[in-house]
Structure 1
């Protein structure tokens, strides 16, 4: 990962997470997946590679592995504040740690710090796809051109992003020609409302299911989507993320 500048942190406010529950959920995922963390003590000149050992929301603390160098541990504690840089599911996570001190943890020495009040989840939403619920699928209503039979057809979504959607076409009603565009489509987002736009086919995959039937998955790009509709899509993605984090944290 590249070094983080203060100017970058200032520009990343849109990706800042401040919900204590979400922060705890994300930190727990980092710990459970044993993600390596680059701890910058005084910028790139003094770096320690470590991992998150435990998250205790009741005590308001996290426990991280200490450095193999006692001298570096002394510098970490003396610094008071360090910056941590890691990733989770290919998404960059940046946060600061304060009130560092040495503690005993599971028979060894570790470092304790306060749970950060905020962190940066540097997710480029236009490239990030969120799976949609299976039990309550999001549906897209697409007007079919005359050469495909005319009328309208309804398709469940496989995932959604701010760049487009993936559609399950189990009846093979849509074509597979890259660039084909379907205007006046309607996507009904639960608890958010309907979104209208054109959908352009960008990729197609035919899949054989366990019952030997063929299904098709179409990746479609939003075309001519208004700013208000795009904001609705982003709100829905944020809603899905919050629900997923709550499940992972055992809160839902």
Structure 2
């Protein structure tokens, strides 16, 4: 999954700003030889690397360089790239800034500044929770003039901190990957409304037993504010509590 800058900004609630903790996490990533995806130009230019050393005295850490010389040049020219890895099943996102060549262990490597912050996301943050079927949560999406304008309501199939799955049974929405719907409103029961842009990440057409077509659109939250992100998390927590209560009752 690509760690875009908007993604990093959306996850302030999971931000680690303690320098001591950041250094400890970087060292653990290095000691456990965790692979790091360095997104040089997003998903079109990715370098897989690892942390070789963390040096608090120089406020920097050393990354293995790419085996591709041209890619190394692009990394250094960029100077600042997004990185993502995992540690003990926890997703870690950070920015490698001020990238430059450095000597290491008789060869060359990349040196970057220790990031002032990083994002640490527990696996549960990515859980997709199914939303109610009998009384569905709906996303109100503004429609283009050629489709009559106004807004249309689309029921949610599930929700996570990263986005939602919509059901577009009448095939009204543009399902092109990358298509973005702006100023969408979602009323979260007992939590309140949130406003966000939704970007289509995937589309799946299903043929039902009655031969009707049902379209499911996977959409990512874009440009969502911190308050709205916190509201989504509260709603997911509420859904988890309700599900656990049902399971306990069945047990």
What's the TM-score once normalised by structure 2's chain length? 0.51
Query: Does 1:168 find its partner at 2:167?
Result: yes
- CA deviation after TM superposition for structure 1 residue 207, in Å: 0.7
Runs of 5+ consecutive residues of structure 1 not aligned to the other structure: 1-6, 12-91, 93-121
Task: State how many pairs are aligned.
Answer: 138
Query: Does 1:219 find its partner at 2:214?
Result: no
Name the SS of the counterpart of 1:234 in structure 2: helix
Q: Is the 8 A contact 1:148 1:174 kept in 2?
A: no
Question: Which residue is 1:123 aligned to?
Answer: 123
- The RMSD of aligned alpha carbons is 2.7
Question: Which residue is 1:180 aligned to?
Answer: 179
Q: Is the 8 A contact 1:204 1:217 kept in 2?
A: yes
Q: Which structure is larger by alpha-carbon Rg, 1 or 2?
A: 1
Question: Which residue is 1:208 aligned to?
Answer: 207
Question: Which residue is 1:194 aligned to?
Answer: 193
Q: Is the 8 A contact 1:196 1:229 kept in 2?
A: yes
What's the TM-score once normalised by structure 1's chain length? 0.50
Name the SS of the counterpart of 1:150 in structure 2: coil
- CA deviation after TM superposition for structure 1 residue 151, in Å: 1.6
Q: Which protein has the bigger helix share?
A: 2
Greater than 4 Å deviation, 4+ residue runs: none
- CA deviation after TM superposition for structure 1 residue 149, in Å: 3.3
- CA deviation after TM superposition for structure 1 residue 146, in Å: 2.1
Name the SS of the counterpart of 1:211 in structure 2: coil
Please give the alpha-carbon distance, in whole angstroms, between the structure 2 residues aligned to 1:230 and 1:177.
25
Q: Is the 8 A contact 1:199 1:221 kept in 2?
A: yes
Runs of 5+ consecutive residues of structure 2 not aligned to the other structure: 1-20, 26-88, 90-121
